[in-house]
Amino acid sequence: MLKRENTALIIIDIQGTLSTIMHERDRLITQACKLIRGVRALGIPVIWNEQYPKGLGPTVPEIAGLLQNMQPLEKRSFSCCGSEQFNKALEALNRKHLIVSGIETHICVYQTVRDLLSRGYTVEVAADAVSSRTALDMHTGLAKMAGLGASATTVETALFELLGDSRDPAFKEISSIVK
């Protein structure tokens, strides 16, 4: 179960030229933005990654605008775990439950989740906040991650699980974010 004190969000490669060709791009961006806004409202840390931004471009403005006080971690390996910067940032958080959002589901998201699971992390993939160029690749990536032990969730499910109670002071803000 997701708990605020033990959870972090990993954002993977939602970048310019690559994002423009994603299956259901608008859903991806909308849901990823809701997820970021929600976890930030709940005080949950975010690690933001970009795959070779010189070639693929920067993170889309809708998402980058929500992370203004942060810098993305650049990577060249498909798995975020191939980046020493990422590994250090993740270790410093000391969080064992991770929510993952990003692109492409069957490549960078899959390989990151695979490596995180092998290191003993509990991983939940926000199925409505990931995508690939094709629906088949997206669904195949989700199935492969589930086969390795990752859980699928949705943005709304994850945020309300983290919230836990309608009496929580953040309830109204989370409710307005998911609408």
> In this structure, what token pair is assigned to residue 164?
């836990």
Strand pairing partners for 46?
9
pLDDT at 17: 86
pLDDT at 12: 98
| Alpha-helical runs (H) found in the chain | 16-19, 25-41, 53-56, 61-64, 84-93, 110-118, 135-148, 155-163, 171-178
Q: Total domain count for the chain? A: 1
> In this structure, what token pair is assigned to residue 65?
């605008």
Mean pLDDT (the chain, rounded): 97
How many Å separate Cα 77 from the centre of its chain? 17
CATH number for the domain spanning 52: value is 3.40.50.850
Residue indicated by tokens 């990931």: 130
Measure the CA–CA gap between 63 and 67, rounded to whole angstroms: 7
Phi and psi based region of residue 13 (left: phi greater than 0; alpha: psi -120 to 50; beta: remaining): left
Count of residues in the chain: 179
Burial 15-31 (b: 16+ CB within 10 A, else e): beebbeebbeeeebbeb
pLDDT at 48: 98
pLDDT at 63: 97
pLDDT at 41: 97
What would the pLDDT profile of 40-86 be if each residue is shown by its tens digit?
Answer: 999 999 999 999 999 999 999 999 999 999 999 999 999 999 999 99
User: Crossing angle of helices 171-178/155-163, nearest 10°?
Assistant: 180
Range of the domain at 131: 4-178
Tell me the one-letter amino acid at 86. Answer: F
pLDDT at 31: 98
Spans of the chain, pLDDT less than 70: none
Yes or no: say if 121 and 152 are a contact pair by the CB < 8 Å rule: no
